[in-house]
Amino acid sequence: MNSPNVPQTPGPVVGPVVGVVGAGQLARMMQQAAIALGVELRVLANSRDESAARVIVDTRIGDYRDLGDLSDFAKGCDAVTFDHEHVPTAHIRALVDDGLSVHPGAEALVHAQDKAVMRERLTEIGAPCPAWARVSELSDVEAFGEEHGWPVVLKAVRGGYDGRGVWVCASADEAREVVDSGVPLLAEAFVPFERELAVLVARSPHGQGVSYPVVETVQKDGICVEVIAPAPGLAAEDAAAAQRVALRIAQQLGVTGLLAVEMFATTSGLVVNELAMRPHNSGHWTIEGARTSQFEQHLRAVLDLPLGSPSPTAPVVVMVNLLGGPDPDVFARYEHVMANDPGIKIHFYGKDVRPGRKIGHVTALGTDLDEVRARAWHAADCLRGPIDV
Ligand SMILES: Nc1ncnc2c1ncn2[C@@H]1O[C@H](COP(=O)(O)OP(=O)(O)O)[C@@H](O)[C@H]1O
Ligand SMILES: [Mg+2]
């Protein structure tokens, strides 16, 4: 007999199964899109407490670094994709050899996993990059600084995110500690950018590509804090050029699924910063702000379905990230934020609130840039918690 107190799991699946390796907020937001499409999402989580594991019935617990766990997880999936970029390349190849449909594939994904491989390939295909070099000794950094000037930006070749793994070094002295840590590094010329832009494109296995409007992203301490769509004041021909660069990278690298291209806008044109091959923070605005959200688009692409319209739903859309503040009880402040501005959309990822951690975001839509930005920032500031004065 079934007891009402014992959780029951559903019977056989009724739609295509998409396996997502990783169970952070990106997988969680993919679930919203999967519900509407009747796609069955399965996630590989480290624990049932992770953001997506809390809301996805078919959560499997395992280690993505273990090929056995990964193969068991992927069995029976119509497509396999990722919430993060850390799955070893050889494991992805092994899944493909087993006949699984994995998007993006290993050959494409390595460009989002390894910043030196990315720079090599972008240079090869003629995409605009800062001067760069692999460095292993302090003397390599010194030589690079001599040639291209200081500061020199050192980056961990693998594993960095949210600015962890990026060091702006004003001198060889500052670089010493980073080099001594033994982390494999590349050096980049410091780009004195006017602002940062991002272009999100989707490419399906049958080769269809679409681009979302170019957005402006604002980083603080290496973490994205705000995204403005479309990028204010960007000339139509510059926006089209940025979209062309992103679509060309997707095509040349054989990306399937989403590709986010982070760029620097400089007085002498665009420079590509880095690539991500999954839903991206610079695309969260699309949930309410575009006809097809990035999460739906990613599911369409990995299932090789026709892509959806990326058209915006409002003239101005602003997304502000919610970083953990002093008071963990974010929900207690919903009442004020919602009453104050019924148009604000709150996204809260079900993660533990820790200072500085990305725990959610808010989105505001409208017509006047200053007004929409002010609304989004007010909501995020209130949710973050009382500020001591
Ligand atoms: N070559 C550079 N010149 C100037 N600023 C840079 C450079 N590279 C990175 N940055 C700054 O550091 C941020 C994080 O660097 P990024 O390579 O995107 O690392 P992450 O993988 O942590 O996002 C960028 O968004 C930008 O603000
Ligand atoms: Mg980045």
Determine the average pLDDT of the residues in 267-272. 96
Residue 196 known to bind ligand: yes
What domains, with CATH codes, occur in the chain?
A: 17-102 (3.40.50.20), 131-189 (3.30.1490.20), 195-384 (3.30.470.20)
Nearest of 92, 50, 53, 89 to residue 70 by alpha carbon: 92
| pLDDT number for residue 335 | 95
What's the whole-number average pLDDT of the chain? 95
30 close to 45: Cβ distance less than 8 angstroms = no
Show the CA angle centred on residue 373, arms to residues 372 and 379, nearest 5°. 90
| pLDDT number for residue 161 | 86
Q: Which atom of ligand 1 is nearest to the CA of 192?
A: 4
Q: What element of type H or E holds 294?
A: helix 294-302
Determine the average pLDDT of the residues in 142-167. 95
The Cα–Cα gap between 308 and 368 comes to: 27
Q: Is 163 in the pocket of ligand 1 (CB under 6 A)?
A: yes
Residue 340 known to bind ligand: no
Q: Which residues contact 222 (CB under 8 A, 6 or more apart)?
A: 162, 163, 164, 166
Q: Higher-confidence residue: 13 or 356? A: 356
Residue 191 Cα, ligand 1 centroid: separation in angstroms? Answer: 9
The pTM assigned to this predicted structure is 0.96
Q: What are the DSSP calls for 305-366, one per residue? A: PPPPP--BSSSEEEEEEEE--S-S-GGGGHHHHHHH-TT-EEEE------TT-EEEEEEEEE
- Write out pLDDT tens, residues 289-333: 999 999 999 999 999 999 999 999 999 999 999 999 888 899 999
Q: Is the pLDDT of residue 5 over 90?
A: no
CB atoms within 10 A of CB 126: 10
Q: Which atom of ligand 1 is nearest to the CA of 188?
A: 1
Q: Which atom of ligand 1 is nearest to the CA of 190?
A: 3
Q: Which residues contact 152 (CB under 8 A, 6 or more apart)?
A: 141, 144, 145, 168, 169, 175, 187, 188, 189, 190
Q: Is the pLDDT of residue 278 over 90?
A: yes
Q: Is 198 in the pocket of ligand 1 (CB under 6 A)?
A: no
- Write out pLDDT tens, residues 222-252: 899 999 999 999 999 999 999 999 999 999 9
The residue nearest atom 13 of ligand 1, judged by CA position, is 222
Residue 101, exposed/middle/buried by CB under 10 A (0-12, 13-18, 19+)?
Answer: buried
- Using pLDDT thresholds of 50, 70 and 90, give the confidence band for residue 8: confident
Per the structure block, which two tokens stand in for 196? 């940062």
